Structure 1
Amino acid sequence: MKGFEGVSLNMERRWAFPLVITSVLCVFVLASCFNMGLLSSIGSIPSINTIIAHYSRSSVNQTNPLFVESIVSQPPPPPALPPLPRFAYLVSGSKGDSQKLWRTLQALYHPRNKYIVHLDLESSVEERLSLAARIDNDTLFSTVGNVHMITKANMVTYRGPTMVSNTLHACAILLKKYNDWDWFINLSASDYPLVTQDDLIYSFSKLDRKLNFIDHTSRLGWKEAGRAMPLYIDPGLYSSKKSDIFRVNPRRSLPTSFKLFTGSAWMVLSHDFVEYLIWGWDNLPRTMLMYYTNFVSSPEGYFHTVICNAPEFAKTAVNHDLHYIAWDNPPRQHPRYLTLADTDRMIGSNAAFARKFRQDDPALDKIDRELLGRINVSVTPGRWCGGKPRCSKVKNPDKVKPTRGAQRLGQLIPRIVSAEAFQTRQCK
């Protein structure tokens, strides 16, 4: 028995050494594989010290328990704000209006915007050439390149369809020449802004860019018999000499395939709606244009009837023209001229524009000084202004500095674009 026990002990000792060596090798291989895996992912997994420190802070602050996902995942960046809007202006005038038009253009100027200038064919060649040279020779305008004058002037008859065709002409030029604008605004040389362009850009930056600001109603009243049923001819459609519209017989009945609307001739129209007016893919704008060819004061009906008979755009109509206009009581054909006595009411209206003004009226000087900040400067100053003299160069057109004008617009615009205003005053 002792011999057998000695043999067994020797055999156990013989196998023990290889077993130990094999075990050590296995542990070494496993440790190497584990370390290689750690090396490949060390950039994505925090160290144990980091986790312990984070957990300690979480415990002290009594926050939620630590999860690895909360360390690895990052919140998505906030959505980018839309770029500031751009406006495209038509500023038009007639014989003797070049100086008024120039002043209005300077008051409206901003390097982000686009401008079409038109003096009609009644103005002399010399007056038109003088204004064109003035625009070309202006260092700021020529450097930025955003002011365009229609040198081949149109004949425009007051109250006639040629006023509509002239506006559509400007829209077509803007779509072809610039296109990177958001709203179209038509003004005359007798209009003037009550807010800076920085104010207007800032206020509209918060709005849906499909909105159209157009004063309108379907309650024609006396206009039904006085404007919709008589037939009128505009000689400006075929004559190179200006003359008034005239009436012809017979009268016509009211339309039954569409509903007539009327309102202010001064509007702020979206880029989408202007494209629709020019392209007219369902033919409604062209049909309306032919109908309004024989309509008196067609600028006060064409755009309104088109937008309210086009379902796609009727829901975008805001029933306001953003103007302050003073009428006599009872109203006459023209609004009355504004003076210094009207300035408090103008400001109190919170409107963006006012009309009509006589040339160089003292009220304009007051507006320049107190509302626009045009003191010893040619154009209305804004955040974009640079150079010496002030505003002679463009510093940063993508920044705006709102003034009290933006506060006034902030009282008007939310009220007229509210859901309640849409439902009760939209294409009614």
Structure 2
Amino acid sequence: MIIEALIWRNLSHVFSSVRRDLNFIDHTSDLGWKEDQRVLPIVVDPGIYLARRTKIFHATQKRLMPDAFKVFTGKVYNPYYCSPWVVLSRSFLEFCLFGWDNLPRTLLMYFNNVMLSEESYFHSVICNSPEFKNTTLNGDLRYMIWDSPPKTEPHFLNGSDYDQMAQSGAAFARQFQKDDPVLDMIDEKILKCGRNRAVPGAWCTGRRSWWVDPCSQWGDVNVLKPGPQAKKLEETILNLLDDWNSQSNQCT
């Protein structure tokens, strides 16, 4: 779920100063437990072929690790979870769609029979591609809290997590309970918007008062006036860029 404080104006402002060929994808080739539990087992997901959802079938045998390419995965958070979250460039997605060297299709056929392939597919394609492997910023821009001991999903964020979440500089956060009061805190403290009203921005030209919605009238919708959360996101991305500039090969 997107942290509502980072609506499109903040994201557009920050990313406008970042190279458009960069990809935010948390990746590692240190598979650990995931090699034996996720990569080597052969699974068949009937949901690919059927209209209704059904259970995944597991083959009795396992396959060897591929030698034509190296498997990468998202950051391993705990024994259940690896980061599947990515922010990808247009150029890399075009490569995945058209695959002019056939790499994306080769890996697609392999990961078709891998459990939770979204945790490894894009990571493996980009890190095995000479053209794109050095365009990766090793971060998924997500804010999450894990219980101890960790569960299969992150901790549900609530009011007690608000301050740390707001200061994190992350573009996205998960997970939230439906209608949790922390969502109202975000609306009130960061977005400054009233109930059932649009988030006010530089494009809102109406008179401001507690009974009048300033966004009932608008001017140039392309005007960008970033809020304070954009500064925190900008610092996060600058730190990722510093790490990226200090390494000659990101996919190791």
Determine if contact 2:43/2:56 at 8 Å carries over to the other structure: yes
The residue number in structure 2 matching 1:249 is 60
Q: Please give the secondary structure, in 2, of the residue aligned with 1:367.
A: helix
Question: What is the count of residue pairs matched by the alignment?
Answer: 239
Task: Identify which of 303, 318, 324 aligns with 2:137.
Answer: 318
Q: Please state how far the C-alpha of 1:335 moved relative to its aligned partner.
A: 1.5
Report if aligned partners of 2:41, 2:62 keep a CA contact under 8 Å in 1.
Answer: yes
In the alignment, structure 1 residue 328 sits paired with structure 2 residue 147? yes
SS in 2 for 1:423: coil
1:376: how far off? 4.1
Q: Which residue of 2 aligns with 1:25?
A: none
How many angstroms does 1:214 deviate by?
0.8
Per the alignment, residue 213 of structure 1 pairs with: 24
SS at match of 2:58: strand
Identity %: 45
Q: Tell me, what secondary structure is at the counterpart of 2:43?
A: strand
More relative contact order, 1 or 2 (CA 8 Å, 6+ apart): 2
**Matches of 1:374 and 1:220 in 2, distance apart?**
44
Aligned: 1:240 with 2:37: no
Aligned residue number for residue 226 of structure 2 = 402
Equivalence for 1:273: 92
TM-aligned CA deviation for residue 234 of structure 1: 0.8
More off after superposition, 393-402 vs 305-314: 393-402
> Aligned ranges for residues 17-416 of structure 1 at < 5 Å?
190-263=1-74, 264-376=83-195, 378-386=197-205, 389-392=213-216, 395-416=219-240
> 2:241 aligns to what?
417
Q: Could you tell me how far apart the structure 1 residues matched to 2:185 and 2:139 are?
A: 25
Residue 385 of structure 1: how far off its partner (Å): 3.2
Distance 1:384 1:360 in 2: 28
Distance 1:420 1:226 in 2: 31
Shift in Å, 1:393: 5.8
Structure number with larger C-alpha Rg: 1
Q: Tell me how far 1:216 sits from its aligned partner.
A: 1.0
Cα distance change, pair 276–411 in 1 and its aligned pair in 2 (3 A): same
Deviation at 1:299, TM superposition (A): 0.8
Segments of 4+ moved more than 4 angstroms: 386-389, 419-422
Aligned partners of 1:215 and 1:271: how far apart in 2? 18
Counterpart amino acid of residue 193 in structure 1: E
Q: Which runs of 5 or more structure 1 residues have no equivalent in the other structure?
A: 1-189
* Deviations, residues 19-70 of structure 1 (Å, cap 9, x unaligned): xxxxxxxxxxxxxxxxxxxxxxxxxxxxxxxxxxxxxxxxxxxxxxxxxxxx
Counterpart residue identity of residue 402, structure 1: P
The code of the aligned residue for 1:355 comes to: R
Q: In 2 relative to 1, CA 425–404 (structure 1 residues): closer, same or farther, beyond 3 Å? A: farther
Letter in 2 for 1:239: L
Q: Distance in 2 between matches of 1:420 and 1:354?
A: 23
Structure-2 change in CA distance of 1:326 and 1:421 (3 Å): farther
Contact 1:194-1:353 within 8 A present in 2 as well: no
TM-score computed with the length of structure 2 as normaliser: 0.87
Which residue does the alignment assign to 2:80? none
**C-alpha distance in structure 2 between counterparts of 1:424 and 1:329, whole Å:** 36
Moved more, 374-383 or 283-292: 374-383
Relative to structure 1, the CA distance from residue 318 to residue 420 in structure 2 (aligned partners, 3 Å threshold; closer, same or farther) is closer
**Does the residue aligned with 1:311 lie in a helix, a strand or coil?**
coil
